Amino acid sequence: MANIVVEELIHTPIEEQKIELVERKGIGHPDSLADGIAESMSRELCREYLRRFGVVMHHNTDETQIIAGKSSPKFGGGEVVQPISIILVGRATKKIGEEVIPTDKIALRAAKNYVKNAMRYLDPELDVIFDVRLGEGSADLQDVFKRKREIPLANDTSFGIGFAPLSETEKLVYNVERRIYEELRKKEPAIGEDIKVMGLRERDTIKLTIAVAMVDRFLSNVQDYDNVKKEVESFVKDIATEYTSKKLEVYVNTADDYERGCVYLTVTGTSAENGDDGSVGRGNRCNGLITPGRPMSMEATSGKNPINHVGKLYNILSRMIAERCYNEVEGIKEVYVRILSQIGKPINDPKVLSVQVIPEKGYSIEKMEPKLKEIADEMIGRITELTMKIVSGEIKTF
């Protein structure tokens, strides 16, 4: 059994605190774009390594950077004046034995395809300049065969953190962005992909401040723009009842000043076209949220290799363990899981796996402990199963 420690956490549960802050940066936000591109490159490299050698080789693409372009949006349609620059940074195994893998081409194709699929109006050929800067890595054939047989060794001394359950505010913030992107955006072409949702719960009132990049070519004037803002507000209020019964206030594009003609108008649907840079790991954690009221790891999950990079694996696994503990063990109000690696040690043998529980009134941690340890031990023992779920896209990283 791994070094698993279970203890009671003396802490005010998030739902009982007077103030709660929750944020989600949507798919088209520059930081999320960087995350999505980095993860898509990693997955494509994984697939190519598997196709050629039957095993995923060392790589990391988690330092991808977006440098904002310049644009001139206007009602009826503006233009991108200076393309966005995206630097595809990282390392990849480019040679095994005598076989050379075209990693730069694979990464570039993955990045362009991601932009094409995630963004309706951002042309990866004309609006973006990609600069591939993947460092060199190589391995011999013996290394390939060894990797197939052995449990990977942690590439770093690092930790991952997860918790369960999500609060009402967390569920609301997450789903507001997801459903604007998946549903409303498809009905209303003027809604871009760069959507940021900031939630503030003050006691029993949730206040959502939503920034929505509008696409200029579908709007003739300020009145059209204002109508779409009202459409977003109405949509959010309608779907919010599925996630909370608390009083709700919704504010959309609060920096607008109609008298001065200052509105959130874009050509491509993302603020990256004009002044907003992006970096991997500066946005959502692997549960899709930024939650300053909860413990969080600062590790970037997207783009790290899914074989032995504990900054990726432990963050994903800790959340999954927390969710299982909450769902399967009676009497848990909140549960937090922390997993610490030690560089060079097997990833299924962490230095410590900590399970902290805030119990419901009348429930004993001592009685929960055997089941909690059983769940944690089983899941850390199966950590290598995460790799293919990440490669296939079944597990999200932001």
Mean pLDDT of 248-257: 98
pLDDT digits (tens, 9 = 90+) for 122-179: 999 999 999 999 998 667 656 655 666 689 999 999 999 999 999 999 999 999 999 9
d(CA 335, CA 319): 10
What domains sit in the chain, N to C, each tagged with a CATH number? 4-12+156-166+283-391 (3.30.300.280), 30-142 (3.30.300.10), 168-279 (3.30.300.340)
Encoded tokens for 354: 């900590």
Distance CA(365)–CA(7), nearest Å, equals 7
pLDDT value for 150: 83
pLDDT at 383 over 70: yes
Please name the residue ranges forming H helices in the chain: 30-53, 103-118, 141-149, 168-179, 185-187, 222-240, 310-328, 365-381, 386-391
The pLDDT value given to residue 142: 62
Predicted pLDDT of residue 138: 64
- Asked if 128 and 61 count as a contact pair (C-beta separation under 8 A), the reply is no
Taken as a whole, the chain contains a residue count of 398
Q: Which whole number is the average pLDDT over 62-84?
A: 97
Span 266-282, pLDDT tens digits: 999 999 999 899 999 99
pLDDT at 58 over 70: yes
Contacts of 5 (CB under 8 A, 6+ apart): 352, 353, 354, 355
What lies within 8 Å, CB to CB, of 234 at 6+ separation is: none
Q: Are 346 and 154 in contact (CB under 8 A)?
A: yes
Distance separating alpha carbons of residues 183 and 281, to the nearest angstrom: 26
Question: Average pLDDT, stretch 330-339?
Answer: 98
Least confident of 13-27, 133-147, 242-256, 266-280: 133-147
Range 4-26 average pLDDT: 98
- Taking Cα atoms as reference points, which of 119, 110, 107, 88 lies closest to residue 271? 119
In one-letter notation, the amino acid at residue 222 is: V
pLDDT on residue 97: 86
CA distance 194 to 10: 39
Return the pLDDT at 148: 67
118: tokens are: 């995630």
